[in-house]
Amino acid sequence: MQIALVGIGKIALDQHVPALRASPDWTLAATVSRHGTVDGVPSFTGIDDMLAAHPQVEAVSLCLPPVPRFAAAQAVLRAGRHLMLEKPPGATLSEVHILQRMARDAGVSIFATWHSRMALGVAAARVWLAGRSVQSGRITWREDVRKWHPGQDWIFEAGGMGVFDPGINGLSILTEILPTPVHLTGAELDVPANRQAPIAARMSLSQGIEVDLDFRQDGPQTWDIDLQTDGGTLTLRMGGNILEVDGRPVEGQDDIMQEYPALYARMAGLVRDGASDADLSPMVLVADAFTLGRRNVVEPFEF
């Protein structure tokens, strides 16, 4: 099947393009970007021009920032193409609800991806937790924004989500593996004086789970989940790629390069089955944090 990739930035070049090149299901037929290109692939600067020039393209994968993504997603669905969305799937929940209805009415698949759910230890963690009761837990998701989003001011604008852009990865794992859903009970958001989105956040969830997010981590990066249950302690490290139970290795390895190939395999399956997958539970927790959270103004931030 032929697919187009829209938004040729760091995440597209680091993850999407290698995954598509290795995919047995997809051929990258076109790209759309104001600045970026992929060698050997026809490139366009406007999505409407690409859609008109490539009627054989069956699906479009959007890697744009959340705010401009909605217009591009609507264009894809109006053209009757299948739609794959990088996380978070939109700037607002209402936008994604509209896209879900459009996809259903057009009879095409929509896939709101959460790449961390494809990490190597996540499926086994979900199986281990089934039937167990979570008593308490902690998510620690701390990374360096200058390393992962160099110079990308959009991430601190309204709709850019700030530290929740990476933090939602941990929440996507949590909502995938827990036997029963969680809800937000409190939050604090640290917003730089010269920015609109938080650079750090703390969240309190039901089931005694605390969340610590920070975009100012120096040195080694931290992407860990620890859950205390009535059957022992489950730990997911390295963004969900290593699973431990009571300190003993159970599943996985430190290899994040398996996540995006798994996403594109899932997308191919959805298209073949005429199905969609647009779970918004991680984004609901983030939206609730912006609604319920206390806002603390902290020192200005510059790249």
pLDDT digit string (tens) for 180-205?
999 999 999 999 999 999 999 999 99
Asked whether residue 92 carries a pLDDT value surpassing 80, the answer given is yes
> In the chain, where are the structural domains located?
2-112, 116-255+287-298
Burial class (CB in 10 A: 0-12, 13-18, 19+), 147: exposed
Active site residue 87: yes
Q: pLDDT tier at 144 (50, 70, 90 boundaries)?
A: very high
Residue for token digits 């939050």? 187
Closest CA to 174 of 237, 102, 126, 103: 126
Arithmetic mean of pLDDT over the chain: 97
Q: State the Cα–Cα distance between residues 137 and 234, nearest whole angstrom.
A: 9
| pLDDT number for residue 161 | 97
Q: Do domains 2-112 and 116-255+287-298 have the same CATH topology?
A: no
Q: 81, 82, 87, 117: which is the annotated catalytic residue?
A: 87
**CATH architecture of the domain with residue range 2-112:** 3-Layer(aba) Sandwich (3.40)
Average confidence (pLDDT) over 79-103: 97
User: What does pTM read for this prediction?
Assistant: 0.96
pLDDT over 90 (residue 252) = no
Cβ neighbors of 197 (< 8 A, separation 6 or more) are 155, 156, 157, 158, 159, 160, 161, 162, 163, 164, 191
- 228-247 pLDDT, tens digit each: 999 999 999 999 999 999 99
Answer whether CATH 3.30.360.10 is correct for domain 116-255+287-298: yes
